[in-house]
Amino acid sequence: MSSATSKNVLILGANSDVAKQALLLYAAKDYHITAASRSTDELNSFITEHAIQGQVDVVYFDAVDYTSHRPFYDDLPQKPTIVVYAAGFLKNNEEALQEWKGSYQMMQVHYCGAVSILNIIATDTQNTHLENIIGLSSLSGVRGRKSNFIYGSTKAAFTQYLAGLRQYLFDRKIRVNVIVAGYIRSKMTEGLDLPESLILEPAFIARSVVNPGKQFTIVPGFKWKIIYHILKLLPESLVAKLP
């Protein structure tokens, strides 16, 4: 069990590859972590493998079961100092275009579920320990591109929500950050034809999650920082030619 002065970290979607690496980094800081996910068995195995059972509580959390979010939060034994939202779901754009279920699932996981639980956390004024909310977003949400605009639109919505939440919480001195990540080597991207030189490891992204600094937007990796700024500045006529 953590000491009275230890920070409490709540990781939502804790079975993602980045989230698990962040979990290890938080544990190295001697923080207490509540790892929330539907995949509790996988998380427990990971935690046992790394011998950090005493620092981590594994709890069930379903991002798209909105009615469960209030009781989930109310039942937390320790309210969080730091919150990380890392839940993710990816459906091929062409499949998502043809099948509403895939589109809707991405909307629910990346936006609706995030807004549902983070609204509850952000409006709990009794939790005076809350310092930081961090969301894992994507460069796919910077500009709409024909190859992934449905996924990208859900990430864009999430990023804009976090931008407004940052302003809403400013007076309470609660920092909000968004990690705008490029390609990550993960379960979600396995099998995709991605340029190897641009793929980042989960542990690299996790370092930005755990040490986000004061700025709102964090783009890990110097290559992706360049791509981010180019995407922001490209005229629409050139964006239309991108894959």
- Does the pLDDT value for residue 238 go beyond 90? no
Q: What is the spatial distance between Cα 156 and Cα 73, in angstroms, rounded to a whole number? A: 26
Mean pLDDT, range 70-80, rounded to an integer = 95
Q: Categorize the per-residue pLDDT at 5 as very low, low, confident or very high, splitting at 50, 70 and 90.
A: low
Predicted confidence at residue 130, as pLDDT, reads: 97
User: Sign of dihedral through CA atoms 237, 217, 138, 156?
Assistant: negative
> Domain extents for the chain?
8-239
Q: What is the spatial distance between Cα 136 and Cα 13, in angstroms, rounded to a whole number? A: 10
What is the homologous superfamily of the domain 8-239 according to CATH? NAD(P)-binding Rossmann-like Domain (3.40.50.720)
Predicted confidence at residue 75, as pLDDT, reads: 96
- Does the pLDDT value for residue 25 go beyond 60? yes
Predicted confidence at residue 188, as pLDDT, reads: 66
Q: Categorize the per-residue pLDDT at 199 as very low, low, confident or very high, splitting at 50, 70 and 90.
A: confident
Residue 229's φ and ψ, nearest 5 degrees, are -70, -35
Between 234 and 130, the higher pLDDT residue? 130
- Does the pLDDT value for residue 231 go beyond 70? yes
Mean pLDDT, range 201-213, rounded to an integer = 95
The overall pTM is greater than 0.85: yes
Mean pLDDT, range 71-95, rounded to an integer = 95
Q: Categorize the per-residue pLDDT at 186 as very low, low, confident or very high, splitting at 50, 70 and 90.
A: confident
User: Sign of dihedral through CA atoms 243, 219, 114, 109?
Assistant: positive
Q: In what order do the strands lie in the sheet with 56-60?
A: 56-60, 32-37, 8-12, 82-85, 132-138, 175-181, 217-218
User: What angle (nearest 5°) sits at the alpha carbon of residue 191, between those of residues 190 and 196?
Assistant: 80
Least Cα distance to 10 among 38, 45, 36, 41 occurs for 36
Distance between first and last Cα of the chain: 49
Burial of 139 (0-12, 13-18, 19+ CB in 10 A): middle
pLDDT tens digits, one per residue of 147-175: 899 999 999 999 999 999 999 999 999 99
- Does the pLDDT value for residue 42 go beyond 70? yes
Predicted confidence at residue 1, as pLDDT, reads: 42
Mean pLDDT, the chain, whole residue set: 92
